[in-house]
Amino acid sequence: MHRAVRSCSGPGAWKRGLVLAALALLLGLFMLLHSYVPNRIGNLGSLVETFLPWFGVGVPVLLVGALWRRSASAAVALLLPVAVWLGLFGGLLTDKSGGGGDLTVASHNVGADNPDPAGTARDLIASKADVLALEELTPQARGTYEKELAKAYPHHTVQGTVGLWSKLPLSDSKPVDTKMDYGPLAATKSAEATLPYTRALRTTVATKHGPLAVYVAHLGSARVNPRGGFTTGHRDRNAQALGEAVAAEQNKRVVVLGDLNGTMDDRAFAGLMSRLRSAQEAAGAGFGFTWPASFPIARIDQILTRGVEPKSSWVLPATGSDHRPVAAGIGW
């Protein structure tokens, strides 16, 4: 025992594992300076920011190496990435839910290939949300959702592939132009390219506290491919257009629901997030990952607010979709 302690604390312990120590310092600096990773080459910066929390996995890996090498220098160097990671994401580890709220909102990308839209609709009714946003509605499944949700949600509007179902009256419903232009993507005949171009809407929900402007959006996909890297051009253009629409919104109380195909750490959403706050970050517990449903690794389905207070935020159980639904309680 005495020999083991001496091997970890003697002069040699500081000389061993210098490579591990250097890797720990590089990991900490990489996370600290992630905003300086350029997007010029394959949108590398956005890719890093999409999965930024997962870089923390490098800490226990390096710690195992430090213990195996009995390296004091590597162990001390690990304090930097630990401190940086906690500074970035430590606040998400605590439960900030205040419970309740005046209105419960939910959002779900129901999936164009969902084999059981009726079952998904029933699962969403069980959430008891007052306002329910659906994305990736196909013409074939739209009728099923309208039929299944009609009793629980007497008011609804559908614009293209997005819709909003509500227990409260709706008015001023209209599509929102998010500059959806697939261009060369249409030639690939991908599932996304075959969907209608209208993928965002704006409506007014009549609450007992006054009108609430609600936006539902499904932004373009972000894809990783060997040639183009992290391809986000369509999504980034959609995010900018959505941000401009929210900026022009006259109602001070706004909720944005939808599949934004990106995390709010991604610099592409800086303009949108300058006007909104994330319900998960303000009133959730944990990261709230939503995609893919079988093993979520990123939160790309969002509930964002302005002028109303997120009281709680959570992820609902998986349905037949490849996304998990999200919900939040908001208050005035």
In angstroms, the CA 74 to CA 61 distance is 12
- CB burial of residue 163 (10 Å; 0-12, 13-18, 19+): buried
Q: Which residues of 33-51 are buried (b: 16+ CB within 10 A; e: fewer)?
A: ebeebebeebbebbbbbbe
Q: Is the pLDDT of residue 82 over 90?
A: yes
Residue 317 has pLDDT above 70, yes or no: yes
Residue range 226-239: mean pLDDT, rounded: 87
In a domain, 162, yes or no: yes
Q: Which of 93, 113, 132 is the last residue of a domain?
A: 93
Q: Are 203 and 223 contained in the same domain?
A: yes
Q: Are residues 193 and 125 located together in one domain of the fold?
A: yes
- Domain check: are 150 and 294 in the same one? yes
Q: What is the CATH number of the domain that holds 192?
A: 3.60.10.10
Structural domain containing residue 218: 103-331
Last residue of a domain, one of 93, 115, 137: 93
Q: Give, as one character, the DSSP assignment of residue 101.
A: -
87 in a structural domain: yes
- Per-residue confidence at 1, pLDDT binned at 50, 70, 90? very low
Section 152-174 average pLDDT: 98
User: How many domains are contained in the chain?
Assistant: 2
Could you tell me if 167 and 60 lie in one domain? no
Is 84 inside any structural domain?
Answer: yes
User: Which pLDDT value is given to residue 100?
Assistant: 75
Whether residue 193 is contained in a domain is answered as yes
Q: Alpha carbon of 33 to those of 27, 45, 59, 195, 226: distances in Å? A: 10, 11, 17, 38, 25
Q: Are residues 161 and 295 in the same domain?
A: yes
Give the pLDDT mean for 257-269. 97
Residue 159 falls inside a structural domain:
yes
Closest CA to 126 of 99, 148, 141: 148
Give 181 or 309, the one with higher predicted confidence. 309
Are residues 78 and 124 both part of a single domain? no
Q: Decide: helix, strand or coil at residue 212.
A: strand
Average pLDDT over residues 277-296: 96
**Residue 229 forms part of a structural domain:** yes
Return the structure tokens found at 67: 């213990």
Q: Is the pLDDT of residue 150 over 50?
A: yes
pLDDT at 323 over 50: yes
**Terminal Cα distance for the chain, rounded:** 61
Arithmetic mean of pLDDT, 218-246: 90
282 and 133 housed in the same domain: yes
Stated pTM of the model: 0.90
Q: Are 177 and 80 part of one and the same domain? A: no
Q: Same structural domain for residues 48 and 132?
A: no
Q: Tell whether 89 and 187 lie within a shared domain.
A: no
Going from the C-alpha of 179 to that of each of 41, 82, 197, 199, 246, the distances in angstroms are 24, 41, 9, 10, 15
277 and 220, same domain (yes or no): yes
Domain end residue (candidates: 41, 75, 93): 93
Residue 292, domain member (yes or no): yes
Rounded to whole angstroms, the Cα distance separating 97 from 225 reads 38
**Per-residue confidence (pLDDT) for residue 248, from 0 to 100:** 96
Q: Does one domain contain both 158 and 271?
A: yes
Is residue 98 a part of any domain in this protein?
A: no
**Which positions ≥6 away from 212 have C-beta within 8 Å?**
103, 204, 205, 251, 253, 254, 255, 308
